[in-house]
Structure 1
């Protein structure tokens, strides 16, 4: 088993919990602690699984990587400093991951991202600090520190060692910028930006940003569609399809998946044209939201 320390990444052990029978009563303590593992992610080749690990002590968290053929013993344990945890992570290749650094308020407090993004190999080697205000990483001597928040926005459908990262600068809170980042060299290429802070992006399989969406400074939900000139055109609000949330482009098609709240009640998951036409409902609920988990 390989143990590696990578600041601020460290190793984490995943414990196998025994199953309880239907007749067993759940102890009260189970409602006052985190699940032992969360956020499983399969490597592109399907041979390994990464998970966020949460120790029962409430302060120790980290990232564990398992071979699919042995889910009892992790091949790599990446333990984080007390009360820090992986806010999110993504495989950029079969052998490298990116991790967004997070913190948690106390043993069962709320977790939040710090805005820093790091990378590490599957064996815990070659850690790198890709985005954040600290002077770490292989490019720290030639690149200024990042004064802002960075978040993992996704990765190409076919892994190529890159991922998408969106940022909002501390000195320019009214702008969201999207980058294509090489997780190994840490080089970045700006893909687009939009003059509203904290916006997310829907990126097609070819790496072209198609939609940007989020909440503006008036706390209004807004969606923008990329126009033919590379600018952003606001999508008109539709009372019959509120909270329009672009999800992903349909593979091999110009159509897309999206989420709505019909008339502001319940939720629908649909396939549609980019302009909103020819909607086909895939799933719906008359009371609650319908998510795209697993897509």
Structure 2
């Protein structure tokens, strides 16, 4: 494809920041939130809707921008200090958003289960789902006690969508939550229930909007798959092994309401993409790898089947199902037009004449663009997520691979300024730990540390996501065992490959990453000079008693699965109960109202050091949760980290 010179939309320039020559970013540059959190293109291509946060991040408004540059930009608020996201167009002039709040660790808004709608002029707004108390504090104006989300737009019924509504339990500890599917008129708020189950379920739909796949969980928290073989079926049947042995996600069903595309696993292998015949219960494999799951799927326009899959657990790559298709050629052309970046399609107009896409990379936090296929593939910039960040001032992230002591092939990332050589290095384990994983792309923590001259090592140890259920479960019961061995093996690999100075290595991580940062000092004290624990778990016995995970039966089952029930092992693998083995300087960081990893964890380790007469550095941010959200607190954390690391592994450190 031909790549036209970028032309910034006049109507959108009010969101752009003033550009300056590239220079080393400040702590606040890394701490600030994105200028835009979500962008969506209207079906007729006349508008883009954008979730725009305030400068302090305490509110997110909905901005609707006419693309002809003639109309007025509508800035819509849905309540004081409220956030909007998950933007969905139900018709050319009608938009639905989820009202939400910020999820602190990721610094992104997430839905609270309330849905609002508006026309493009903001004159008619509807509360579709919410639980709101009236002015007298007694009378509820909306009584939707549960969580609602849009799961399908009905193109054949403009303005109408399908909404999944999962009710809150009546009793504390009750895990049975009724799930209902409603057809909702987003203009009037009128709704019609079309499905309901007493179990908490995920429904997936055919092209016409009929529920064809239902997934619930059994008492062991494994998926139970039920389906309707044909469009006229009313009863649910178990999904046969000829379709899926363990898990299945219905991605797209063709207009015949029978030919479908799904990601499937039969046992514990990474997810694979299949084309299936629902009526015959047969399938044909289209894409997949033996050691890496499919991360994302790209679709053929507004209403088309998958044309490509993206893998990102190792080196990011695209697999086109048919490289000769117009969609594969279009996407490949965009990759050439944006070298060194990945491109994801976000939205298409109904006639596929225009596309909204997102270009991003290790040194690019991301930018939204419009592609006009009717105007010689003209590309226009909509908005950059962080326009103050310059690629020249950031560092490349290189995918790495190495073998562990027991022969397991692991992947990860190494981020460092250009120039090579053995550098002082920060080992940065990801949180989770089971399911999340580090993938190539912009990472504010890694980039901040690299901007200060450090190499940053991120390792997808066993237990991480991206490689299937078996790989995740290989970390069960290994929090302080093989998962720690994997991190240490990665450090030794970095030393052997002369990218890490063996005398200048520290650890830093959040949540489980905070736990691993301290546990590495106990298991492998010879490797490190200091440790930073951020909202970390430090006592596994306390974890079973405090925090929001243990509040549900499924959460308690999860803790028993991943930690085990051997008290002696839990004690041996708890940094707070083994401070005598930690011989390096420690910096502990905590949010005062963290519900996932509450203050009891921070206090357990801090008090253990105090009892042992060992001074440590601490930082407690009032009003912050599981990771800091306020830019000023994030900037202060970076400032404190910079000074701490410079003292122990910086240029002047002994």
TM-score, structure 1 normalization: 0.77
2:296 matched to 1:291?
Answer: yes
1:274-285, aligned counterparts within 5 Å? 274=278, 276-282=281-287
Q: Cα distance, 1:292 vs. partner?
A: 2.9
The whole-number CA distance in structure 2 between the counterparts of 1:248 and 1:236 is 19
The corresponding residue for 2:168 is: 170
Whose strand fraction is larger, Structure 1's or Structure 2's? Answer: 1
Deviates more, 1:76-85 or 1:111-120: 76-85
The corresponding residue for 2:225 is: 223
Cα root mean square deviation, aligned: 3.6
Question: Aligned to 2:131, which of 130, 133, 136?
Answer: 133
The corresponding residue for 2:16 is: 16
Q: Cα distance, 1:164 vs. partner?
A: 0.7
The corresponding residue for 1:93 is: 91
The corresponding residue for 2:489 is: none
TM-score, structure 2 normalization: 0.38
2:194 matched to 1:191?
Answer: yes
Q: Cα distance, 1:59 vs. partner?
A: 1.2
The whole-number CA distance in structure 2 between the counterparts of 1:128 and 1:76 is 16
The corresponding residue for 1:114 is: 112
The structure with the largest alpha-carbon Rg is 2
The corresponding residue for 1:6 is: none
2:46 matched to 1:43?
Answer: no
The corresponding residue for 2:259 is: 255
Question: Aligned to 1:213, which of 206, 212, 215?
Answer: 215
Quickly say closer, same or farther: Cα 1:34–1:285, change in 2 above 3 A: farther
Q: Cα distance, 1:50 vs. partner?
A: 1.2
Q: Deviations over 1:174-233 (max 9, x none)?
A: 321101011112111111122321x22222222211112354564222322125541222
Deviates more, 1:85-94 or 1:261-270: 261-270
Deviates more, 1:40-49 or 1:268-277: 268-277
Quickly say closer, same or farther: Cα 1:109–1:193, change in 2 above 3 A: same
Whose helix fraction is larger, Structure 1's or Structure 2's? Answer: 2
Aligned residues: 276
Q: Cα distance, 1:269 vs. partner?
A: 2.8
1:263-282, aligned counterparts within 5 Å? 263-274=267-278, 276-282=281-287
**Which has the bigger relative contact order, CA under 8 A and spacing at least 6?**
2
SS of equivalent residue, structure 1 residue 34:
coil
The corresponding residue for 2:77 is: 79
- Unpaired runs of 5+ residues, structure 1, are 1-12
- Unpaired runs of 5+ residues, structure 2, are 1-12, 171-175, 301-654
